[in-house]
Amino acid sequence: MHLTDDNIFRVTESVWTLILGLELQRSGPPEPDRGTERTLLGSVQIAGAWEGAGQVQCPASLARRAAATMFGVAPEAVERDQIQDALGELANMIVGNLKAFLPQPSRLSLPTVVDGVGYTVRIPGSSREVARVTMRSGGEPLVVVVHTRSTPHRATPLERAARS
Amino acid sequence: MKQGGGMSAADGAAFREVARELTGIALSPEKDYFVEGRLEAVARARGLSLGELAQAVRSAPRGALAQEVAEALLIAETSFFRDPGLFEVLRLQVLPELIAARRAERRLALWSAACATGQEPYSLALLLVEHFPELEGWDVDILATDLSQQALDYAASAVYTQHEVNRGLPARLLVRHFEREAMTWRPRSAVRRLVRFARVDLLRPLPPLPRMDLVLLRNMLIYHDVETKRGVLASVRGRMRSDGRLVLGSAETTLYLDAGFEPSPELGVYRVKDAPSEAPGGGAGGRPDAGAEALDRGPSAPREGVPAVDRGAPCI
Amino acid sequence: MDALVIDDSRAMRTILGGMLTDLGFRVVQATDGRDALARLAETPAARLALVDWNMPEMDGLAFIRAVRADRAYEGLKLVVVSTETEQAQMATALEAGADEYVMKPFTRAVIAEKLGLLGLAGPSA
């Protein structure tokens, strides 16, 4: 029971095919972000016997296609808050299933979504990246990253509320 | 929700043609999406795309790869407790009657005759373990057979994906009778030990089998013509107890095919009417006889005219 | 037949709501457990609720406990649809009064088959 790149791909693929009906392939690292493209990042914290976070990141255009499938509308008709909601739920499903490969018991936080250009993300407490898997769906990159918290983190009131 | 979209219509047609050539079974294009995932697995194992796999079987329609594709196509769409109404009938009517009738011998033989990836026989085992504690100490035997070795290997490993246990399996049974290993689930040994697997081609003379109390033969006859249906029903009936029950799929019947069965009041369940003689030496093999152990607890010499059941033997 | 779909994700409510509508249900949506209790009071004939676990305000487990403490909702079937898939958590939900449990991700067939188990709809194969 280990969190390997292969397991991360299999989990992501099952969410991508069962929920979205879209294909997904492993791929090399994406071209470096030039800081000009709008991307979305969905993040879910894990707390309990294992502490850390999982993140799902993709260009806005791929998140838009995913949202269109989930909401059953044409991609151009999807609104921005629908795209954010869809990516949050996809992150929830992907990270939630990755939890099966980590020490238990543990609980998930509600997803948070960052949507913008050239942002950086900081995980609360000091953390270390333990896995990064790059995939492609319809030619667009999808990246799943897992961080572990290396020092105990005192939950913020918001996180405590999400966990209870 | 639509499923993946990787298989072209032309590739689908090529795969179906291979299956028809090798097995005589004509599959409809509507079934393509059932099998796409399995074909993708075959392709991926060889480092091929689906298109390349289709090209390979077109150029060698009788090769090993074509054989593998045909087997993958034969694995029927299946789920745990498929048709829950039927399993309710088994739980409330059929099994209590059979158990009452076998109280003296304390022996029950069930046969899942087209078991695919094993969800059906394990559903039977779960039903017995969960609802019939009185069978403790009985000789309970669930024989699960299929034409496809790939399916049998999968079924015997009993390692199911999260998606497979999500389908049709009551959550209470999943919590109580399965062990979880990351994203896969496996029935506990108390369930697994009730089921054993063997490759059997129902279109050929059957190997020696125990006399069956209950046979599930669902969604297999629909693929075949009337003569073949008759042959299969007669040979299955030859392996059943005189008060045995046969369960068919919802689109199947014994009517006008085999007068040796009669419909019972429960939909989809048939009773043996004209049982062949149970005396030893009867064509179908009486019970108990030496041959009846061939698919039982140990190896035994194949009898003349009866193919040995051999895992991995070419069958199609 | 009325059914509640309770999930904080609008995308998930849309997917589940669409599946239930296709199966012949009239669907009422709620965004968390507290919202769901209010909607339920307005929809007393509801026969089914699909309920997420992790939600703000009131989570799915608290909602199940609240519903099971109220005799008025005895006939309501509760199906958890969650990304929480630890066996112990599933057992907790079932003990609290959930009738079924669906692990995310799922397909239309999964939902139809679970409803079939509860006698609410035949699986539409």
- What ipTM was reported for this prediction? 0.94
The answer to whether B168 contacts chain C (CB < 8 Å) is: yes
CB contact at 8 A, A3 and A146:
yes
Q: What is the mean pLDDT of residues A130-147?
A: 94
Chain B residues lying within 8 Å of A137, measured CB to CB: none
Q: What is the mean pLDDT of residues C29-47?
A: 96
pLDDT digits (tens, 9 = 90+) for B258-291: 999 999 988 899 999 865 555 443 334 334 444 4
Confidence of residue C93 (pLDDT cuts 50, 70, 90): very high
Q: Do C8 and A110 touch (CB under 8 A)?
A: yes
Residue range of the domain that includes A95? 5-27+37-163
In sequence order, which residues have a C-beta less than 8 Å from that of residue B12 and are 6 or more positions away?
Answer: B29, B32
Closest CA to A62 of A54, A52, A70: A70
Eight-class DSSP state of B21? H
Eight-class DSSP state of C10? H
pLDDT over 70 at A33, yes or no: no
pLDDT over 80 at A163, yes or no: no
Q: What is the mean pLDDT of residues C8-29?
A: 96
Q: At what angle do helices C33-42 and C60-68 cross, to 10 degrees?
A: 40
What's residue A131's pLDDT? 94
Which one of C104, C106, C107 makes the best mutation probe of the A interface by having the most chain A beta carbons within 10 Å? C104
DSSP E strands: which ranges in chain C? 2-6, 26-30, 48-51, 77-82, 100-103
Q: Which of residues 82-121 of B touch C (CB under 8 A)?
A: 83-85
Q: What is the mean pLDDT of residues C46-58?
A: 96
- Going along chain C from its start, the domains and CATH numbers come out as 2-117 (3.40.50.2300)
Eight-class DSSP state of C67? H
Give the integer Cα–Cα distance in Å for A113 and A42: 4
pLDDT digits (tens, 9 = 90+) for B233-261: 999 999 999 999 999 988 888 988 999 99
Tell me what percent of the residues of chain A surpass a pLDDT of 70.
Answer: 84
The CATH code of domain B84-293 reads: 3.40.50.150
CB contact at 8 A, C107 and C81:
no
What's residue B75's pLDDT? 57
Task: Give the other-Cβ count within 10 Å of B314's Cβ.
Answer: 7
Give the integer Cα–Cα distance in Å for B136 and B79: 27
Taking CA–CA distances from B161, the nearest residue in chain A reads: A14
Give the integer Cα–Cα distance in Å for A78 and A64: 7
What's residue B24's pLDDT? 59
Domain of residue A121, CATH code: 3.40.1550.10
What's residue A124's pLDDT? 65
Dihedral sign for Cα atoms in the order A15, A17, A22, A26: positive
What's residue B19's pLDDT? 75
Query: Can you give the pTM of this predicted structure?
Result: 0.80
Residue B73 in tokens: 């196509």
Give the integer Cα–Cα distance in Å for A149 and A51: 6
Kindly report which listed range (A82-86, B47-51, B72-76, B288-292) carries the lowest average pLDDT score: B288-292
Domain count of chain A?
Answer: 1
Taking CA–CA distances from A12, the nearest residue in chain C reads: C105
The helix/strand/coil state of B65 is: helix
In sequence order, which residues have a C-beta less than 8 Å from that of residue B103 and are 6 or more positions away?
Answer: none
Closest CA to B8 of B53, B44, B41, B56: B53
| CATH number belonging to the domain at B9-74, selected among 2.60.40, 1.10.155, 1.10.1660, 1.10.8 | 1.10.155
Which residue did the predictor score with more confidence, B60 or B214? B214
How far C53 CA lies from chain A's nearest CA (Å)? Answer: 10
Taking CA–CA distances from C109, the nearest residue in chain A reads: A18
Confidence of residue B39 (pLDDT cuts 50, 70, 90): confident
pLDDT over 60 at B46, yes or no: yes
CB contact at 8 A, C51 and C6:
yes
Q: What is the mean pLDDT of residues B283-303?
A: 43
Backbone torsions φ then ψ of A64, nearest 5 degrees: -65, -45
What's residue B25's pLDDT? 61
Residue appearing with tokens 């199947």: B252
Of B3, B167, B180, the CB nearest to C110: B167
Which one of A3, A18, A136 makes the best mutation probe of the B interface by having the most chain B beta carbons within 10 Å? A18
- Average of per-residue pLDDT values in chain B: 81
Taking CA–CA distances from A15, the nearest residue in chain B reads: B163
The helix/strand/coil state of B186 is: strand
pLDDT digits (tens, 9 = 90+) for A65-123: 999 999 999 999 999 999 999 999 999 999 999 999 999 899 999 999 998 887 777 66
Domain boundaries for CATH 1.10.155 within chain B: 9-74
What's residue C92's pLDDT? 97
Burial class from Cβ neighbours inside 10 Å (0-12, 13-18, 19+) for residue B259 reads exposed
What's residue B122's pLDDT? 98
What's residue A153's pLDDT? 52
The answer to whether C15 contacts chain A (CB < 8 Å) is: yes
Task: Chain C: list its partners (3+ Cβ pairs within 8 Å).
Answer: A, B
Residue A69 in tokens: 């499938």
The answer to whether B1 contacts chain C (CB < 8 Å) is: yes
What's residue B67's pLDDT? 79
Residue A32 lies in a domain: no
Q: Do C83 and A18 touch (CB under 8 A)?
A: no
